[in-house]
């Protein structure tokens, strides 16, 4: 009986400690810049490699390039609905893919320099380093040889499409429940299968991570066919965010985020959200940010396991988030067309865990 009372008291004390930690008033992020784009819904934001530009990707009609110093805005017009846009890796060039099978490349002076029409519509696109290859839906196009390579991958609804290194591209099929890694040199393909529909996947270092609708995640080595790690969970996994250089990734479920290290395999941080998580970003300086449906933004230091700051845009679901690793500035794009540049009001933080 005495032991039971002690146990209850201990539980109560732990609960109080946790409560007081979470009730501590978080620091507000400072707003550096804010602009509303009427009739626009942002779905993604991104910093250029040098941090001087922000790419704000709406649902349709145009993508916006914002100078992160003077906040001037240049719009790149497109027709119809956007499939995907982003900076080409290791450059300040931009790719823009629409749902009508067009992919365009824009140079760093924002002049269109290349355009290609794929045989079928797609919903995802990615461009390799040096823009040698363009992946669009299941297709792969070699820009230097000016031709499509091999048979397209038969994934009707891709949960991921990502170049990995200089010679591989990863595609994950939601309905097909498979991840395919395609070798760009000889077109050989390695397939990993899951027991449920794949909602998010990524190639990280020497690993493949695929997460499913029923909430489980599988980790394989690129050379293996059996999972080396399995992460179980109840909620469907919405997003995977990966560290650009280290074998670290984060997964988000409905209202929680967990950060993992792959070498060694370890759970690094758990974050709780107050609402449905709509966006997730992991920066190379060890900062993670998440955006919620109720407009809340949280920014965490993984290394210190500390909340750096929060911000709230009332009733504006945060659909896009990106962190500039050099300045730790955070850009957020909302479903209702607001673009914000935020900055933590602390001296220093971050560092790869």
Partner 1 sequence: MANSIAYQMINEFAARKGVGAFSRCERKQVVDQLRVRVTEPSQIYQGKSSLCGPASFLYVIASDKPHVYVKYIIDLYEQGEAAIGNLRVKPGADCKNYKVEYIEEIDWIGLASLRDSTNSVFDYQTVDDQFAGITLPDHLQEWFIQSGYTQVYNRTNLIFDKNLYTLLQAHQKRQSGYVICLLIGANLLSGYPKGNVPADHWVVLNSDIQIDGCPAISWLPLGAKVDDDETVYDKKIDFKVYTWGQADYPVNKNRKDATVGEFLDYFYGYVSARLS
Residue 176 as a binder of partner 1 (CB under 8 A): the answer is yes
Residue 336 as a binder of partner 1 (CB under 8 A): the answer is yes
Q: Is the CB of 40 or the CB of 128 nearer to partner 1? A: 40
CA distance 162 to 39: 30
Residue 335 as a binder of partner 1 (CB under 8 A): the answer is yes
Stretches 21-29, 103-111, 173-181, 300-308: which one binds partner 1 (CB under 8 A)?
173-181
Beta bridge partners of 340: 34, 332
Q: Which of 130, 142, 157, 255 binds partner 1 (CB under 8 A)?
A: 157
The nearest distance, CB 235 to partner 1, in angstroms, is 9
Local structure of 65: helix, strand or coil:
strand
Interacting positions 6-25 with partner 1 (CB under 8 A) = none
Distances (CA, A) of 21 to 92, 118, 119, 302, 310: 41, 53, 55, 17, 15
CA distance 212 to 116: 33
Q: Which of 91, 190, 236, 312 binds partner 1 (CB under 8 A)?
A: 236
Q: Is the CB of 155 or the CB of 329 nearer to partner 1? A: 155
Q: Is the CB of 83 or the CB of 88 nearer to partner 1? A: 83
Q: Which of 1, 2, 20, 39 binds partner 1 (CB under 8 A)?
A: 39
Q: List the structure tokens of 156.
A: 């009707």
Give the interface size with partner 1 as a residue count (CB under 8 A): 27
Pairing between β-strand 178-183 and β-strand 168-173 as defined by DSSP bridges: antiparallel
CA distance 172 to 73: 34
Non-local CB neighbours of 282 within 8 Å, separated by 6+ positions: 241, 242, 243, 248, 249, 250, 259, 288, 323
Residue 316 as a binder of partner 1 (CB under 8 A): the answer is no
Stretches 37-45, 70-78, 243-251, 304-312: which one binds partner 1 (CB under 8 A)?
37-45
Exposure pattern of 148-160 as b/e (b: 16+ CB <10 Å)? Answer: bbeebbebeebbb
Residue 334 as a binder of partner 1 (CB under 8 A): the answer is no
Residue 279 as a binder of partner 1 (CB under 8 A): the answer is no
Q: 320 near 84, Cβ under 8 Å?
A: no
Q: Which of 80, 150, 244, 351 binds partner 1 (CB under 8 A)?
A: 80
Local structure of 277: helix, strand or coil:
strand
Closest CA to 143 of 115, 121, 168: 115
Residue 60 as a binder of partner 1 (CB under 8 A): the answer is yes
State the Cα torsion 159-246-334-199 to the nearest 10°.
Answer: 20
Residue 59 as a binder of partner 1 (CB under 8 A): the answer is yes
Closest CA to 265 of 195, 180, 205: 205
Q: Which of 18, 154, 306, 346 binds partner 1 (CB under 8 A)?
A: 154
Stretches 124-132, 168-176, 221-229, 322-330: which one binds partner 1 (CB under 8 A)?
168-176
The nearest distance, CB 121 to partner 1, in angstroms, is 8
The nearest distance, CB 154 to partner 1, in angstroms, is 5
Exposure pattern of 111-140 as b/e (b: 16+ CB <10 Å)? Answer: eeeeebebeeebbbbbbbeebebbbbbbbb
Residue 317 as a binder of partner 1 (CB under 8 A): the answer is yes
Binding residues for partner 1, rule: CB under 8 A, are: 39-41, 59-60, 80-81, 99, 154, 156-157, 173-177, 197, 199, 213, 236, 238, 276, 278, 293, 317, 335-336
């Amino acid at each position: 009986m005495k032991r039971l009372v002690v146990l209850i008291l201990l539980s109560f004390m732990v609960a109080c400690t946790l409560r007081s930690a979470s009730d501590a008033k978080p620091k507000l992020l400072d707003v550096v810049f804010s602009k509303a784009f009427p009739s626009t819904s942002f779905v993604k934001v991104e910093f250029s490699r040098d941090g001087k530009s922000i790419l704000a990707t709406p649902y349709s009609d145009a993508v916006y390039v914002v100078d992160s110093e003077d906040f001037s805005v240049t719009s790149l017009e497109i027709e119809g609905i956007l499939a995907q846009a982003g900076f080409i890796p290791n450059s300040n060039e931009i790719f823009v893919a629409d749902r009508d099978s067009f992919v365009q490349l824009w140079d760093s002076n924002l002049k269109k320099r290349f355009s290609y029409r794929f045989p079928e519509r797609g919903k995802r696109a990615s461009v390799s380093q040096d823009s040698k290859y363009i992946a669009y839906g299941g297709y792969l196009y070699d820009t230097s040889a000016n031709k499509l390579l091999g048979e397209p991958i038969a994934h009707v609804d891709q949960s991921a499409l990502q170049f990995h290194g200089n010679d591989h591209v990863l595609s994950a099929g939601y309905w097909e429940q498979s991840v395919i890694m395609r070798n760009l040199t000889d077109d050989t393909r390695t397939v990993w299968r899951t027991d449920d529909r794949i909602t998010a996947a990524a190639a990280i270092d020497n690993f493949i991570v695929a997460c499913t609708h029923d909430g489980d995640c599988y980790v394989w080595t690129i050379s293996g066919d059996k999972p080396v790690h399995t992460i179980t969970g109840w909620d469907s996994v919405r997003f995977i965010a990966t560290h650009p250089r280290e074998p670290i990734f984060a997964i988000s479920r409905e209202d929680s985020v967990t950060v993992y290290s792959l070498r060694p395999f370890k759970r690094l941080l758990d974050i709780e959200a107050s609402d449905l998580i709509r966006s997730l970003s992991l920066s190379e300086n060890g900062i993670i940010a998440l955006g919620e449906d109720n407009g809340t933004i949280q920014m965490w230091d993984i290394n210190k396991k500390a909340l750096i700051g929060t911000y709230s845009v009332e009733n504006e679901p945060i659909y896009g988030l990106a962190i500039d690793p050099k300045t730790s500035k955070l850009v957020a794009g909302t479903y209702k067309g607001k673009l914000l540049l935020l900055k933590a009001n602390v001296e220093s933080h971050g560092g790869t865990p």
